[in-house]
């Protein structure tokens, strides 16, 4: 009876170790929002605004042309995320890249495309232009 309990204990321990060993290491409980393991860094809206205001960032809007023409952050260059892989020659390799979209989903995809292509100074703006506008930051509104 005692040996059965010991065996059961080790079986449960082994299964637990296996499950924990297979856990997604990309998931973290970081509170600062940065995830350098992805190869890019998430920045707050306030940090993004400072980067843009400094003028030392290539601002990349990865939404569709229609979305961009409706509204965008001043100075942004528009390359649809679906075209980014074939238009990397339009993105400078020697500059800091700040990527945004409408809400932050497509910018994650675009940031990963850039990192996979060898870009090293890539920042993602979670919340996108939707959050940007909600904070009252300026943007260009199309007609």
Q: Supply the CATH number for residue 66's domain.
A: 3.40.250.10
Say if 84 falls within a structural domain: yes
Count of domains forming the chain: 1
Which one is catalytic: 98, 99, 101, 114?
101
Tens of each residue's pLDDT in the chain, 143 residues: 666 766 665 556 556 545 555 433 333 333 344 445 679 999 999 999 999 999 999 999 999 999 999 999 999 999 999 999 999 999 999 999 999 999 999 999 999 999 999 999 999 999 999 999 999 999 999 85
CA-atom Rg of the chain in angstroms = 21
Supply the pTM of this predicted model: 0.74
Q: What residues contact residue 119 under an 8 Å CB cut-off, 6+ apart? A: 91, 93, 97
Structural domain contains residue 25: no
Structural domain contains residue 128: yes
Distance, first Cα to last Cα, the chain: 79
- Assigned domain for 50 exists: yes
**Does the active-site annotation cover 22?**
no
Domain that holds residue 132: 32-141
Establish if 66 belongs to a structural domain: yes
């Amino acid at each position: 009876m005692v040996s059965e309990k010991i065996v059961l204990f080790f079986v449960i321990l082994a299964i637990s170790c296996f499950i924990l060993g297979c856990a997604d290491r990309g998931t973290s409980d970081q509170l600062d929002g940065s995830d350098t393991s992805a190869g890019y860094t998430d920045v707050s809206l306030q940090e993004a605004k400072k980067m843009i205001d400094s003028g030392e960032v290539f601002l990349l809007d990865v939404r569709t042309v229609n979305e961009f023409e409706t509204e965008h952050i001043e100075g942004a260059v528009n390359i649809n995320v679906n075209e980014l892989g074939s238009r990397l020659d339009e993105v400078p390799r020697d500059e800091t890249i700040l990527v945004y979209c409408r809400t932050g989903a497509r910018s994650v995809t675009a940031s990963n495309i850039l990192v996979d292509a060898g870009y090293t100074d890539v920042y993602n703006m979670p919340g996108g232009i939707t959050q940007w506008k909600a904070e009252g930051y300026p943007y260009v509104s199309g007609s």
